[in-house]
Amino acid sequence: MSNKKTALVISAHAADFVWRCGGAIALHQKLGYEVTVACLSFGERGESARLWKEGKTLNEVKSIRRKEAENAASALNVHDLQCFDLGDYPLQLDNDAKFRLVDLIRSVQPAFMMSHSKYDPYNTDHMYTTNVAMEVRMIAQAWGHNPGEKVLGAPQLYLFEPHQTEQMGWKPDTFLDITDVWEQKRAAIECMEGQHHLWNFYTNVAENRGNHFRRNSGGQSGGRAAQYAEGFESVYPRCVDEL
């Protein structure tokens, strides 16, 4: 039996895995995990306004966003970046694309998965991706899907922070200290040249979540001095032997 530790991130667009869980990726790689990122689209239509204003063609935009994602993945030490290139605005997966994702999940056998908030009225690609993540997780657990393959266990699905949390019904129940890998995350953020306006926004988010980590880990009565953190909402119950 393999003792390999793995994780899987399902990202709607090229930059989502950077802004929202880049610290978790870099930290778990540092802890010996093999973190795979499934990037379903490059965000070429809906999240590349600067490139369109410069007069780029669709293929040029996709090429630039792909390179940004690859550079960011390298900065985070991502084990494997899988670019599905399914298009965005709207993002849609047919059964073939879903089964391709199921194949990836079964191959990775993640200890945990990550994707978007359940609700996002500003970007329906995001909540669609999480619906797909839950669906393919279910299929990957089914013994009757491609019998003979190793089925998936029950990895937790963590929902990473959306852009406007107060509008999304997202409630974090887990804070992760990413201080030790913050420089990697910031380097990955700066690879996303097409969305320069978000660099400092997500730096501020990480600082704010660092404050929440400190408070919830004990605050002035002995909390850990986390400077940067990421927040996540878990979908499924946790099975534990002690609290």
Give the model confidence (pLDDT) of 180-194 as tens digits: 999 999 999 999 998
pLDDT band at 1 (very low <50, low <70, confident <90, very high): very low
Instruction: Give the whole-number percent of the chain exceeding pLDDT 90.
Output: 91
CB neighbours (10 Å) of residue 197? 9
Burial category of 161 from C-beta neighbours within 10 Å (exposed 0-12, middle 13-18, buried 19 and up): buried
Summarised one tens digit per residue, pLDDT across range 33-71 is 999 999 999 999 999 999 999 999 999 999 999 999 999
HSE value, Cβ hemisphere, 13 Å, CA-based, for 133? 32
- Residue 219 has a pLDDT of 83
- Residue 2 has a pLDDT of 60
Q: What is the mean pLDDT of residues 148-166?
A: 96
Q: What is the mean pLDDT of residues 200-221?
A: 94
Domain 6-234 has CATH 3.40.50.10320: yes
> What are the domain boundaries of the chain?
6-234
**Tokens in use for 124?**
């329906």
Q: What is the mean pLDDT of residues 123-137?
A: 98
**Tokens in use for 70?**
């690859």
Q: β-strands 156-160, 174-177: how paired?
A: unpaired
- Residue 3 has a pLDDT of 80
